[in-house]
Amino acid sequence: MGELKKREFGRLKILDSIRGIASLIVLYHHIFKLNKAVFKSYFSDISFTIFDFISELNDEAVLLFFIISGFSIGLSTLKRPLKDKNSVNGYFYRRFKRILPIYWIAILLSFLVGISLNILNLEDFSIRNLLGNLLFLQTSKVIPESSIIPYGLNGPLWSLSYEMFFYLLFPLVYFINKKYLKKVGLYAKYVLLIAAIMIGIVINKKIIFIPYFLFLVGFMTWIQGYISSYCFVLLKKKNTFFMINFLLGLLITIASTKIPSDSIKIIGKGMLLNGIFYFTMILTDGLNTQKLQKFIDVIFYKLGEGSYAIYALHYPLLIFFQEKGVSLIYQLLFLPVFIVCCYHLEKHSIRWKMTFLDRNYLKLIQFTAKN
């Protein structure tokens, strides 16, 4: 048998740049949403419509985070396969160290803003809701069935429970696929995933709301990003698979006004974006795009390195500004300082040792299962 062809790759700065663009869209969305009247009064109808359209790309920006996350985990596990206890424990340690420090800071910041605005009496700040957020059970406040919502009015925290779910579920899916589904085709496994998601949607709507079934909706977008990483590294194209996803996603998006389920709409947008992401990657492969990538990296790479902190920390501050009547111009003047602080905070938090997170997670899971 011939040696498996693999692409040699280092750090893909363009992924961080895309994260930077996505975080900027989310940040802009919330500034626009909280200052809509100001935008309306200062800009023409055409300009306001353009600003509003960009703001409405918020969901797509979050889904782009999911895609890049899945793609990045794929690159990571191709370099460091999950083959034994040490590799799995290392995987959990790296993921927890990446997500938890900024997450805890975001919850603390939300609490401090709650104190300063004297609104700790709201349900968003309750002990029950805090514990739910610490266990990553929160879902978006717009979901009627949700009992755990983002802590302290920090709406963007809803997506971090999805992210943690992806990280925790992935090793299980990885080992099941490796041990039991290795000979099962991609389409069959994909249909099984869709079936599981549909069952979860029905259970949530008709029987009882379970957050994990909702998180599976995001996992579908995430796993497509993961599949793209294998296509990128192992030079194995899946054009038909991603074309089907793209077309189905486009169809669902076009018909979204007639679809009663928000979960189906999110799945559709995820499929559409994954198709665009994959074919952009395939079509530009082999082309001389280094100058274009360098240009994008110059503008957005540093922003991408602080994108997680920007995403998790910005909303409580915007709420504070809104309640204190800080004008839009002063908010905009504050943003560069905030972005620079987020960049340094995220860079430093990644370097924190946090040895208490370096544990034998497989043994802990087995102990929990037995008891």
> What tens digit of pLDDT does each residue of 54-73 get?
999 999 999 999 999 999 99
pLDDT value at position 292? 85
- Nearest-5° Cα angle at 213, 207 to 214: 105
Q: Is 60 exceeded by the pLDDT of residue 207?
A: yes
pLDDT value at position 351? 86
pLDDT value at position 213? 95
pLDDT value at position 368? 53
Total residues found in the chain within this entry? 371
Q: What is the mean pLDDT of residues 207-231?
A: 95
Q: Is 70 exceeded by the pLDDT of residue 272?
A: yes
Q: pTM higher than 0.85 for the full model?
A: yes
In percent, the amount of the chain with pLDDT more than 70 equals 96
pLDDT value at position 285? 79
Burial class (CB in 10 A: 0-12, 13-18, 19+), 188: exposed
Q: What is the mean pLDDT of residues 288-297?
A: 85
Q: Is 60 exceeded by the pLDDT of residue 1?
A: no
> What tens digit of pLDDT does each residue of 230-249 get?
999 988 899 999 999 999 99
pLDDT band for position 98 (cuts 50, 70, 90): very high
pLDDT value at position 361? 81
Q: What is the mean pLDDT of residues 176-203?
A: 93
CB 14 within 8 A of CB 305: no
In angstroms, the CA 86 to CA 328 distance is 50
- Nearest to 238, CA basis, from 268, 200, 199, 281: 281
Q: How many C-beta atoms lie closer than 10 Å to residue 45's C-beta?
A: 8
Q: Record the tokens describing residue 267, joined without a space.
A: 């799945």
CB 312 within 8 A of CB 106: yes
Q: For all residues of the chain together, what is the average pLDDT?
A: 92
CB 225 within 8 A of CB 277: yes
